Amino acid sequence: MNHWRAQFDANHPLSAYDEIKRKNEQLQELALRLQASEQHYQRVTNSLPLLIFTANQAGQLLYANTWLLELTGHSLQVINQAKWAKTIHPDDYEGFWVLWNKQAATYQPFQYECRLRDATTQSYLWHLFTAQPVKSDVEKVAAWTGFVVNIHAQKLVMQTLRQNEELAQAKAKLEQSQHELESTVRELNRSNEDLSQFAYIASHDLQEPLRKIQQFGDLLQSRNSDLSTESRTYLSRMQSAANRMSVLIKDLLSFSRLSTRREASTPVALTSLITSCLENLSLTIEESQAQIQAHALPIVEGEASQLGQLFQNLLSNALKFHRDGIPPQIHIRSQEITATDLPPTLKPARLSAVYHRIEISDNGIGFDEKYLDRIFQVFQRLHGKNEFAGTGVGLAICQKVATNHGGVITATSQPGQGATFQVYLPAISHT
């Protein structure tokens, strides 16, 4: 440029016409050289495998090589009109322009990673925008020139590495949790073994002294006819206490075995099971003149021995807690309901689409429902032992059996108006 300025500024003794003609020729030559330089620049930029552009401070493209059309499918004019909205991913669009405006306002370099819609696949691929401010001869920023390069592969590699790292961390945590679980299982097994040993002691070592007390008490009563009335009273009370202790130990043994001894689940016909329970209670039924109506009951999956304990305890209570002078009336029925029809306060131990609701209702003394949670706890009684016999373990066994079978138990009642116990058990799935 200095050479051409010198040519224009040189003072030669030419006519005005020749001077104008010469300078016009020089301008034409300069224009041809500039055109050739621009064409060369375009050929160079078009040969590179990335998008090269020049933009003004507002982000409008002044120039872009052919990769703009190949990448986006849009011309420079369309890109400027839409301000890249048709190309930049919606989640990256706002951030792009916020950073561009910030950097352009302070004439700082621009760099931004975003996803661009590929014209061929119509999928979004990661690209890196880079632009540098270009100053004019008077040290003012005239434009920004930069490039856009595909970094999708690098992004995928980095994402894979992060996922692998996260997977390794998750695997380490899982292994740690597995070790902790295994340790907990070992502790639980040892606890179950200790409980089994306790159950053995309860069924043998603790029962033996009680049997001796009962035997010696019987001998004293049968061989000592001259015992005073007071002595016989004490002896009878001793025998009664020993009998209650024996029953309590047996009930505790039954409760502990619900957790430590589990048999394989099989289909259990509840109609046959209830019939067997009623046969076991036949003497009590006859003495109380009870009337029992049992409807057809379903088949469920479970352990017959445990389910037998559950329903025999419920039937025994219905016979026991009857009103004076009024024979017990007991109804046994069932209904199939969906999980959505369960009472909102009930949470069965196992999720199922369908449940069987088995109800055992009576006309007995009933109870206040404020004690509902209490009656299913071990040793919790609502009546004194002199009113009704029992150890306070029966309903706790019922709840444990229901839980073991993925179900739940509850009751409704009012004092003096009987009680209805409801057992919810998962239905057998036929899928």
State the average pLDDT over residues 376-405.
Answer: 69
Reduced DSSP (H G I as helix, E B as strand, rest coil) percent helix, strand, coil of the chain, to 5: 50, 20, 30
pLDDT digits (tens, 9 = 90+) for 308-354: 888 988 998 898 888 888 999 999 999 999 999 999 888 888 888 99
Task: Tell whether pTM > 0.85.
Answer: no
Phi, psi at 151, each rounded to 5°: -120, 20
The helix (run of H) or strand (run of E) holding residue 130 is strand 124-135
State the average pLDDT over residues 67-85.
Answer: 89
Domains of the chain, by residue range, sit at 2-155, 181-261, 264-431
As a whole number of angstroms, the distance between CA 247 and CA 259 comes to 20
Cα 230 to chain center, whole Å? 67
pLDDT digits (tens, 9 = 90+) for 82-100: 999 999 999 999 999 999 9
Distant-in-sequence, close-in-space partners of 77: CB < 8 Å, separation ≥ 6: none
Reference 26, options 4, 10, 1, 6; nearest CA is 4
Query: What does the mean pLDDT of the chain come to?
Result: 81
Question: Please, what's the largest Cα pairwise distance for the chain?
Answer: 168
CATH, range 2-155: 3.30.450.20
Phi, psi at 161, each rounded to 5°: -60, -45
Please give the class, per CATH, of domain 181-261: mainly alpha
> What is the pLDDT, as a whole number, of residue 171?
84
Instruction: Give the CA distances from residue 363 to residues 195, 321, 417, in Å, rounded to whole numbers and listed in that order.
Output: 39, 9, 6
Beta strand pairing status for 141-150 and 124-135?
antiparallel
pLDDT digits (tens, 9 = 90+) for 173-199: 888 888 888 888 888 877 767 766 666
Q: Is the pLDDT of residue 297 over 60?
A: yes
At position 256, the amino acid (one-letter code) is S
As a whole number of angstroms, the distance between CA 380 and CA 399 comes to 13
CATH, range 264-431: 3.30.565.10
Taking CB atoms within 8 Å and a gap of at least 24, the contacts of 62-68 are 62/143, 67/148
